[in-house]
Amino acid sequence: MPSIIDADAHVVEGAALAVPALKRWPDKVRYVDQGRLGFYIEERRYPEPEGPGAGCPPEHGLCAAAGPNPNTVEGTLSDADREGIDKMVLFPSLGLGVPGFHDLKFAAEFSELYNEFIGDFCDRSDGRLFGVAVVPIEDVSASIQIMKSAKQRGAVCTVLPPGLRERNLDHEDLDPFYAAAADLDMPIAVHGAPGVHLPKIGVDRFTNYIQVHCISFPFDMMSAMTAIVTGGVLERHPNLRVAFLEAGVTWVPYFLDRLHEHYEKRGSWIENGWKRDPREYLARGQIYVSCEPEETVLPAVVDALGDDFILYASDYPHWDSEFPESSKAMRERSDISEASRNKILFENAQRFYSI
């Protein structure tokens, strides 16, 4: 069996994070049990399963397969063994909402608590689990210091939302953060989620979670890629690596073609932006995208753009994960070469995360 790195799995923070948060910030964090359980931060429910851009009801958040145990290190490793996965990179669940917290001092302190939690969690995994840092990115100076501490603690990546409250990811205010990430050899992963009070990109037109979920991730990633590529982030920071996660990969050839057309015809209209064709940033190893193992036109993506940027991701243990058959679907595909499978399952993630 080939070695496998899961480039986008998730930790379920549970009581290990909630209990210290409730004790430390009783004025900011509370847990309500009134028929339907609710975890509230700054008087907003996490996740919020109702209203525009609704998130997943918490009782339906985990995959339906029998037996996943994401709440402990031992359970997570056992589940990885069931999947045949050697290493997992763990993104937050609740922690994805940190960039949307209103109180920036609290957001910074919560980020530090989360990063300590995930660092301790991964430290007990015999080198098989790797954490992703969260930062209060609305406060760039605090985010740089928190990212540096998380890197020292073992984090292999820092997660950003697809957009900030009033700024896109190409805003000049963020350049010191990107420069620090590049200096640290800390890759950036863009990862959104509905229902955790991040800026809404189109999903506010829907209140049904399934409709929201259909469009939230691809809209998020297209918006983020537009900012990162056309806005010149990769040009100004040539050593920065950025991954766009949980929207599949089959949108990428279409969207890079669209960006190419605009670069070719009107690229100069973006001041301090891109200086080369978008595919060049892909070719020099700055852009990575996660795939879903069963995507039917994955071979066409490989034919169009190559296989050096695609990451295998299970999305364990969330409801839309194919656990425990996710990696099997990729391992047994006959429509891509063994060399491409090895890159997607292992080599690309190893290079992106430096693990």
Task: Give the span between the Cα atoms of 95 and 134, in whole angstroms.
Answer: 7
Domains and CATH numbers, the chain: 5-13+63-353 (3.20.20.140)
Which DSSP helix (H) or strand (E) runs through 188? Answer: strand 188-190
Task: Give the span between the Cα atoms of 203 and 224, in whole angstroms.
Answer: 15
Task: Give the span between the Cα atoms of 307 and 302, in whole angstroms.
Answer: 5
Number of H helices, E strands in the chain: 13, 12
Task: Give the span between the Cα atoms of 287 and 193, in whole angstroms.
Answer: 20
Q: How confident is the model at residue 61, as a pLDDT?
A: 82
Task: Give the span between the Cα atoms of 46 and 242, in whole angstroms.
Answer: 27
Q: How confident is the model at residue 170, as a pLDDT?
A: 98
10 Å CB burial of residue 182 (0-12, 13-18, 19+) is middle
Written as tens digits, the pLDDT of the chain (355 aa) is: 679 999 999 999 988 999 999 999 999 999 887 555 678 999 999 999 999 999 998 888 888 776 678 889 999 999 999 999 999 999 999 999 999 999 999 999 999 999 999 999 999 999 999 999 999 999 999 999 999 999 999 999 999 999 999 999 999 999 999 999 999 999 999 999 999 999 999 999 999 999 999 999 999 999 999 999 999 999 999 999 999 999 999 999 999 999 999 999 999 999 999 999 999 999 999 999 999 999 999 999 999 999 999 999 999 998 888 889 899 989 999 999 999 999 999 999 999 999 9
Could you tell me how far CA 79 lies from the centroid of its own chain? 20
Q: Is residue 27 helix, strand or coil?
A: coil
Q: How confident is the model at residue 219, as a pLDDT?
A: 96
Is residue 343 a contact partner of residue 308, using CB atoms and an 8 Å limit?
Answer: yes
Task: Give the span between the Cα atoms of 135 and 125, in whole angstroms.
Answer: 23
Q: How confident is the model at residue 164, as a pLDDT?
A: 97
Q: How confident is the model at residue 37, as a pLDDT?
A: 62
Instruction: Name every residue whose Cβ is closer than 8 Å to that of residue 268 and which is 6 or more positions away in sequence.
Output: none
Q: How confident is the model at residue 211, as a pLDDT?
A: 96
Q: How confident is the model at residue 142, as a pLDDT?
A: 98
- What does DSSP assign to residue 62? B
**Residues in a beta bridge with 39:** 31, 46
Instruction: Name every residue whose Cβ is closer than 8 Å to that of residue 250 and which is 6 or more positions away in sequence.
Output: 295, 297, 298, 300, 301
